[in-house]
Amino acid sequence: MKIPRFSRKTLGIPYAVFLLFFVIIPMLVILFYAFTTGVKDPVTGAESFSFSFSNFLRFFSDPTKLSTIVYSLVIALVTTVLCLLIAYPVAYILARSKLKKKFVILMLFVLPMWINFVLRVNALREIFNLLSLAPALEGLTSANYFKTIFGMVYDFLPFMILPLYTTIMKIDQSLYEASADLGGGAFTTFTRVTLPLSMPGIMSGVTMVFLPSMTNYVVSDMLGNAKVTIIGKFIYEYFGNDWHMGSMVALVLLIVVFLSSWLSGGFTADENVRGTNL
Amino acid sequence: MAEKIIELKNVTKYFDDNLVIDNISFYVKKGEFITFLGPSGCGKTTTLRMIAGFDLPTSGQILLNGKDVSQLPPNKRPVNTVFQRYALFPHLNVFENIAFGLRCKKVENTYENSKGERYTKRERLSKKEISEKVKKALEIVDLEGFEKRSISTLSGGQQQRVAIARAIVNEPEILLLDEPLGALDLKMRKEMQIELKEIHRRLGITFIYVTHDQEEALTMSDTIVVMADGVVQQIGTPKGIYDEPANTFVADFIGESNIFNGKVVGEKQVKFCGKTFACLDEFGLNEIVDVVVRPEDLKMCAPEEGMLKGEVLSVVFKGIHYEITVQVGKYEIVVQSTESREIGEKIGLCVSPDGIHLMKPRYTSNVFDGVITKRNTVEFADGEFDCDVTQLYPGSRLDEEDYLITAAGEKIDLTGVEVRVEVGLSDISISDDAEAGGTTGHIISIIYKGDHYRLIVRTEEEEEDFVLSTDDLWNENDFVSVIIPKDKIKLTLKNQEAKK
């Protein structure tokens, strides 16, 4: 019997097909819609497209849209920074502790990820509603931004903890010893060994929190009383009636995301250079 | 006498419940090259780590220049370490790795202000000072021009040199080296040995070196500390330790040895391998001793001239010499010689009195603390053994209910009585059938004694050691059960006031 032998090339075909149909073509479609306007023929119902920059101009001349982009960026930024500030100590302590059952504690932090996301956000909303019944916490009813960011931090924290934990775990114990041996105190060891070596974990954690928190409008809708609009919400709404504008917003978001990852990527490279010239 | 730079006083270290260092005391003289030598798990690295400050002793003192530093953290000690796996910082280049310690350092500088008052400031080293020192350190390890290289582009030997430079650039009083050459290939290792020795000579600081390689230790050290089982076995110069090993462990670990059981039969007369030899060591008459004869101290001669006669079993070419195994009666004796012999050839062996080393046997019998159980068996060393309890009371016997009746007719319940258990070395046998014996353990040491092997079996829970002799060849780490015949277990009451 002849055993069929697959070359790497043949094994790659399904993935190439996937990429073509689910990544490249949709991208082209978005690009196409973003730079066209459609006119519906009232008789036949057929739509005729014409190339135009009008979506582009409409987007950038509309102050609400621009401010939404800025809001989304600020919310995502604040969420990411808060996640990082909360997650780093947790990951650091867990990774370096000698506890035998530390994975149990890690699991407890990650466990909420296994519970339905909408359910969690709903529960959080109910808790906020309950709390705002207390006269002292009345202000909570209208603290829409606070609640949105709280919900996002709560939801995205595990995505920050996990990569940080794995990176810090991988740092060779003897490097801490080497630092102490060379006269480095706890602070020096942290800033000059631990922090630079956990940079890859910080970067992947930031990416995994920053991007979703720009687009995840479920949290902002449910916790922000629909008063907080982020860019993801925009796209969702436009695709109801105006695909052209929706595609333009999606395209702008894509560019913003690309720019921010490129900047953060550039930041890591920069960090290395700085490390060597300290 | 040279100044003591570091002194360990009754240092003991437990990891959880494991005794790793058992009450060791010794000192290191300023400027010497001292080596901790021993098999893995002997506590040599732990001792080094306690000097560096990574591990703190459970009890005892570490004195540095007379001051107790046992509880100081590593960054407060004037010592630097070259780590086993180098532990170079992967995110920093060669220059930054070496400069790490310099950047942590603060020095006191004295200035004079405009009014002519002198004042001192604690300051970090300037950029210029740092780069000069790094440059000098790189020169010492022969890596000029490597400043900008990333650590990952360096070979093992180069990383090793960076690790040394990183440590010596801080001008420590003591340089600690934890098996630094272990990861290098043989040729590289030899080169680095010579270079390290040269660096030691140039810097003039104290080197404390840890290795399991006896040849490395002999080549490089001024003083060797031989360790085993968390205990210092012998301290001495390389030559002293090689020529006069303190016990069979040292003799076996350092260099090649023929080890025999012997008996002193007269003044400076010892009998082993069935013959009487003249020797230089004095022991009491009829004392049982271990006899060590180095293979190079045995000379081959014509059969009729030899003190021992035998037949050549095997000949192995070792580069500089031949290693010849000779069967003498039931003994196998290893001889080193530049001359070869034919297998099967009859030869004689001669040894001069200074080639025979007598030492007190490390083990003469096995002694344990045991407890008598309900079934009149004895429990010790993680196991339960059948024994004859009537030997505890002369003339006693057991009645049908298994109570002990003494000669005077007294009835005694022995359950829970604490006893001292003694078993001779040759009364223990081992088996690879885990069910066959009273307890089980792993073989932790094997020493060949000419016609038999001397093994040590360590039990798992209580880590009790059984020392035994066997003709069979076993491997280290074999899991075996320990068999002791009922009549070979000697019991004595520990507390003469045993309950009646």
Angle at B52 between CA B46 and CA B55, to 5 degrees: 50
Confidence class of residue B87 from pLDDT cuts 50, 70 and 90? very high
To the nearest 10°, report the CA torsion of A269, A270, A272, A278: 180
Cross-chain Cβ contact B101/A183 below 8 Å: yes
**Which stretch of DSSP H or E encloses residue B328?**
strand B322-328
Nearest to B137 by CA among B192, B181, B98: B98
Residues B217 and B198: their CA atoms lie apart, in Å, by 15
Q: In whole angstroms, what is the distance from residue A149 CA to residue A77 CA?
A: 10
DSSP helix/strand/coil, B81: strand
Tell me the three state secondary structure of residue B174: strand
For tokens 């010579």, what's the residue?
B194
Over the range B447-473, which residues count as b (16 or more CB within 10 Å of their CB) and which as e? bbbbbbbbbbbbbeeeebbbbbbbeee
Closest listed residue to residue B162, CA positions, set B145, B138, B139, B182:
B138
Upper half-sphere CA count for residue A278 (Cβ side, 13 Å): 21
Residue B497 has a pLDDT of 47
A177 and B CB contact within 8 Å: yes
Q: Inform me whether the pLDDT recorded for A11 exceeds 60.
A: yes
Q: How far is CA B58 from CA A83, A152, B74, in A?
A: 41, 48, 16
Determine the distance in angstroms separating the CA of A194 from the nearest CA of chain B, rounded to an integer: 10
Report the alpha-carbon distance of residue B147 to residue B158 in Å, rounded: 12
Q: Do B74 and A180 touch (CB under 8 A)?
A: yes
- Tell me whether residues A182 and B166 touch, CB distance under 8 A: yes
Taking contacts as CB-CB distances below 8 angstroms, the residues of chain B near A182 are 75, 80, 100-101, 104, 166-167, 170
Sheet holding B439-448, edge to edge: B429-431, B479-483, B439-448, B453-459, B465-470
- The answer on pLDDT for A275 being more than 70 is no
For residue B10, pLDDT over 90 is answered with yes
- Burial category of A121 from C-beta neighbours within 10 Å (exposed 0-12, middle 13-18, buried 19 and up): buried
Mutate to test the interface with A, among B72, B80, B91 (most CBs of A within 10 A): B91
CA pair distance A160, A179, nearest whole angstrom: 27
d(CA B417, CA B403): 13
Q: Are B180 and B163 in contact (CB under 8 A)?
A: yes
Return the domain boundaries, chain A: 8-51, 62-276
Q: What rounded mean pLDDT belongs to chain B?
A: 88
DSSP state of B443: E
* CA-to-CA dists, residue B91 to A60, A265, B87, B218, angstroms: 43, 16, 12, 37
| Lowest-confidence region among A88-97, B349-358, B398-407 | B398-407
- What is the set of domains in chain B, with CATH numbers? 4-102+130-243 (3.40.50.300), 258-359 (2.40.50.140), 365-493 (2.40.50.140)
Those of residues 152-181 in B touching chain A at CB distance below 8 A are 166-167, 170
* Distance from the A167 Cα atom to the nearest Cα atom in chain B, whole angstroms: 14
**Highest mean pLDDT pick, B96-110, B360-374, B386-400:** B96-110
Q: Which of B187, B251, B244, B247 is nearest to B214 (CA)?
A: B251
- In terms of DSSP bridges, do strands B490-493 and B418-424 run parallel, antiparallel, or are they unpaired? antiparallel
**Rounded to whole angstroms, how far apart are CA atoms B243 and B233?**
15
C-alpha pair distances (Å), B260 with each of A275, B361, B457: 62, 10, 20
Backbone conformation region of residue A237, classed left if phi is above 0, alpha if psi is from -120 to 50, else beta: alpha
Residue to mutate among B100, B127, B166, with most A CBs inside 10 A, is: B100
Gap from A201 CA to chain B (nearest CA, Å)? 14
Q: Which of B82, B92, B152 would best serve as a mutation to test chain A binding (most A beta carbons within 10 A)?
A: B92
Phi, psi of A250 (to 5 degrees): -60, -40
Give the DSSP letter string of A94-146: HHH---TTHHHHHHHHHGGGGS-HHHHHHHHHHHHHHHTTSGGGGGGGG-HHH
10 Å CB burial of residue B92 (0-12, 13-18, 19+) is buried
Using a CB-CB cut-off of 8 Å, the residues of chain A touching B101 are 182-184
* CA–CA dist B462, B470 (Å, integer): 23
**Nearest Cβ partner for A182 among B73, B80, B85:** B80
Residue B498 has a pLDDT of 44
> In which band, very low, low, confident or very high, does the pLDDT at B495 lie, cut at 50, 70 and 90?
low
CB B260 within 8 A of CB B273: yes
Please tell me the predicted confidence (pLDDT) of residue A102: 83
Give percent above pLDDT 70 in chain A: 93
Range of weakest confidence among A249-263, B68-82, B182-196: A249-263
The DSSP secondary-structure symbol of A206 reads H
Round to whole Å and give the CA distance between B268 and B283. Answer: 8
CB-facing half-sphere around the CA of B131: CA atoms within 13 A: 9
Average pLDDT over residues A87-97: 92
Question: With pLDDT > 90 as the criterion, what percentage of chain A qualifies?
Answer: 34
Q: What is the pLDDT of residue A265?
A: 63
Q: What's the CA gap between B88 and A174, in Å, rounded?
A: 9
Asked if the C-beta of B75 comes within 8 angstroms of chain A's C-beta atoms, the answer is: yes
Q: Quote the tokens at residue A275.
A: 């490390």
Confidence grade of residue A229 (pLDDT, cut at 50, 70, 90): confident
Q: Determine the average pLDDT of the residues in B130-141.
A: 93
Partner A contacted by B14 (CB < 8 A) = no
User: Is A276 within 8 Å of B166 when comparing Cβ atoms?
Assistant: no
Q: How far apart are CA B60 and CA B26, in angstroms?
A: 12
Q: CB of A187 within 8 Å of any CB in chain B?
A: no
- Please provide residue A238's backbone torsions phi and psi, each rounded to the nearest 5 degrees: -65, -35
Q: Do A174 and B89 touch (CB under 8 A)?
A: no
Please answer whether residues B130 and B183 qualify as being in contact, where contact means their C-beta atoms are separated by less than 8 angstroms.
no
Cα Rg, chain B, nearest whole Å: 29
The pLDDT of residue B96: 95
A vs B: CB pairs below 8 A: 73
Task: Copy the structure tokens of residue B279.
Answer: 């020797």
pLDDT, tens digit, for every residue of B405-445? 887 878 888 888 888 888 888 888 888 888 888 888 888 88
Share of chain B above pLDDT 90, in %: 45
**Distance between CA atoms of A2 and A210, rounded to whole angstroms?**
51
Q: Taken in order B16, B17, B23, B26, is the CA torsion positive or negative?
A: negative
Task: Report the C-alpha gap between B177 and B70 in whole angstroms.
Answer: 19
DSSP H helices in A171-216: 173-181, 186-189, 195-197, 199-215
Q: Return the CATH superfamily for domain A62-276.
A: MetI-like (1.10.3720.10)
Chain B contact probe: residue of A167, A175, A181 with most B CBs at under 10 A: A181
Furthest-apart CA atoms within chain B: distance in Å: 105
For residue A273, what pLDDT is reported? Answer: 37
Query: How far is A102 from chain B, CA to nearest CA, in Å?
Result: 19
Distance in Å, alpha carbon of A177 to nearest chain B alpha carbon: 7
CB A204 within 8 A of CB A268: no
Residue B304, C-beta contacts closer than 8 angstroms, at least 6 positions apart: B348
pLDDT of residue A277: 29
Q: How far is B34 from chain A (nearest CA, A)?
A: 20
What ipTM is given for this predicted complex?
0.76
Portion 36-95 of A in contact with B at CB < 8 A = none
